[in-house]
């Protein structure tokens, strides 16, 4: 069965998008299994995550997200900017404001010139709601991993994040530490891990180990969680430029309504067609 796809990225965090509105055959696919194969950069199309676009009853559209390891996740900030761009570019919806249903709730992207601004909602600091295996706020919590101690600050942006502040993020062993913390029993649903170097009150530098995907060039929800953690600890102001390996995101945590707004680019790389029957799903 040949199906069309669109390859996109947000600051190098890359996606393969499938439009289930245009091709209803795709609703019957085993996406956890197929996602693992299509995400492979040698034997598939290659991406960090698979995005599925559908219609929704309680919103304009719906977005489902599958990691490169086949696991389904609640939300992806870079992914939702790409999904919104696809909707506008293909003429599925002409309003500059969208309501997109995700497993983390309804997220609201809108056009901001050539960029996309997204109302990412309010950060959650309460441990059991993140979730982590601890009551109360998890701020500078000393997590013991294989005999080493890491001070983590945990935040949910509809998905789980453990933020670690470091002196030099460029030389930090992100893969080694990130993989250990991701799967630690402290996190019942695993976690994303952000490594943050604070440059000044208005700028931070970030690397990210994404749950189910490994180190990626950018993570939108991770940037939001990191700014929330940094501002909460008094390390930065509430409006921060986040430097990621793939580029920059503008993050603003509104003091009046407690919501976080993310602004950044979304890029279409190419479109294509693939015969998914060759993947023996």
Mean pLDDT throughout 68-84?
Answer: 97
Q: Rounded to 10 degrees, what is the CA torsion of 92, 105, 174, 149?
A: 180
Cβ-based neighbour number of residue 14 at 10 Å: 25
Pick the catalytic residue from 47, 82, 154, 219.
219
Q: Which residues pair with 148 in a beta bridge?
A: 145
Q: What is the mean pLDDT of the chain?
A: 97
219 catalytic? Reply is yes
Which of 13, 16, 69, 9 lies closest to 273 in space, CA to CA? 16
pLDDT band, very low/low/confident/very high, at 277 (cuts 50, 70, 90) = confident
C-alpha 223: how far from chain center: 9
* pTM (predicted TM-score): 0.94
Instruction: Choose, from 76, 82, 154, 224, the residue flagged as catalytic.
Output: 76
Q: With respect to CATH, is domain 2-114+266-279 assigned 3.10.310.10?
A: yes
215-231 burial, b at 16+ Cβ within 10 Å, e below that, comes to bbbbbbbbbbbbbbbbb
The whole-number pLDDT of residue 279 equals 80
* Segment 163-168 mean pLDDT: 98
In the chain, what are the domain boundaries? 2-114+266-279, 127-258
What pLDDT shows up at residue 182? 98
CATH 3.40.50.10420 fits 127-258, yes or no: no
Residues 100-123: pLDDT tens digits? Answer: 999 999 999 999 999 999 999 999
pLDDT tens for each residue of 170-192: 999 999 999 999 999 999 999 99
Averaged over 93-98, what is the pLDDT? Answer: 95
């Amino acid at each position: 069965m040949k199906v069309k796809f669109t390859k996109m990225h947000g600051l190098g965090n890359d996606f393969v998008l499938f439009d289930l509105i245009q091709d209803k055959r795709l609703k019957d696919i085993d996406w956890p299994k197929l996602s693992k194969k299509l995400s492979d950069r040698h034997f598939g199309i290659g991406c960090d995550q698979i995005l599925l676009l559908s219609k929704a009853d309680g919103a304009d559209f719906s977005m489902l997200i599958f990691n490169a390891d086949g696991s389904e996740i609640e939300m992806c900030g870079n992914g939702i900017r790409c999904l919104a761009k696809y909707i506008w570019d293909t003429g599925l919806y002409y309003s500059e404001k969208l309501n997109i249903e995700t497993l983390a709730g309804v997220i609201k992207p809108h056009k901001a010139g050539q960029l996309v601004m997204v109302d990412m909602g309010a950060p959650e600091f309460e441990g059991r709601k993140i979730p982590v295996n601890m009551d109360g706020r998890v701020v500078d919590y000393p997590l013991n991993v294989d005999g080493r101690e890491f001070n983590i600050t945990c935040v949910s942006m509809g998905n789980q994040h453990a933020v670690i502040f470091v002196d030099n993020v460029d030389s930090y062993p992100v893969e080694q530490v990130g993989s250990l913390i991701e799967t630690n029993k402290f996190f019942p649903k695993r976690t994303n891990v952000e490594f943050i170097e604070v440059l000044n009150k208005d700028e931070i530098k970030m690397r990210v180990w994404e749950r189910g995907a490994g180190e990626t060039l950018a993570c939108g929800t991770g940037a939001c969680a990191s700014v929330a953690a940094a501002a909460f600890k008094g390390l930065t102001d509430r409006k921060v430029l986040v430097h990621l390996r793939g580029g920059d995101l503008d993050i603003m945590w509104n003091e009046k309504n407690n919501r976080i707004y993310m602004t950044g680019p979304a890029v279409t790389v190419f479109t294509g067609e693939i015969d998914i029957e060759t993947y023996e799903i």
